[in-house]
Homo-oligomer: A and B are copies of this chain.
Amino acid sequence: MTGPRYTPLVQTLPASVPFVGPEAQERARGRPFRARLGANESVFGPSPKAIEAMQKAARDTWMYGDPENHDLRHALAAHERVGPENIVVGEGIDGLLGYLVRLLTGPGDAVVTSAGAYPTFNYHVAGFGGVLHKVTYRDDHEDPLALLEKARDVGAKLVYFANPDNPMGSWHPRATVERMVADVPDGCVLVLDEAYAQFLAPEDMPVIDADDPRVIRMRTFSKAYGMAGARVGYGIGAPGLIAAFNKVRNHFGMSRISQAGALAALDDPQYLAQVVDTVRTSIAGIGRIAAEHGLAALPSAANFVAIDCGRDGDFARAVLAGLIERDVFVRMPFVAPQDRCIRVSAGTKADLDVFAQALPDALEAARTRL
Chain A interface (Cβ < 8 Å from any Cβ of B) = 1-10, 13-15, 17, 19-21, 23-24, 27, 36, 39, 41-46, 51, 54-55, 57-68, 70, 91-92, 94-95, 98, 102-106, 109, 120, 127, 157, 186-187, 189, 213-214, 222, 226-231, 238, 240-241, 243-244, 246-248, 250-258, 261
Contact = CB atoms under 8 A, between A and B. Distances in A.
A127 B59 CA distance: 34
Contacts of A60: 229
A104 B70 CA distance: 33
A14 to B, nearest CB: 7
Work out how many copies of this chain go into the complex: 2
A66 B39 CA distance: 12
A10 B105 CA distance: 10
A230 B250 contact: no
Nearest to A3: B213
Nearest to A92: B252
Contacts of A15: 243-244, 246-247
Given A24-B68, A252-B94, A4 B213 contact: yes
A4 B212 CA distance: 11
A61 B230 contact: yes
Contacts of A57: 229
Contacts of A13: 247-248
A250 B58 CA distance: 24
Contacts of A59: 45, 51
Given A7-B103, A70-B24, A92-B252, A63 B228 contact: yes
10 contacts: A7-B103, A7-B105, A10-B247, A21-B66, A45-B59, A51-B61, A61-B227, A63-B228, A94-B251, A231-B255
A214 B68 CA distance: 35
A127 B248 contact: yes
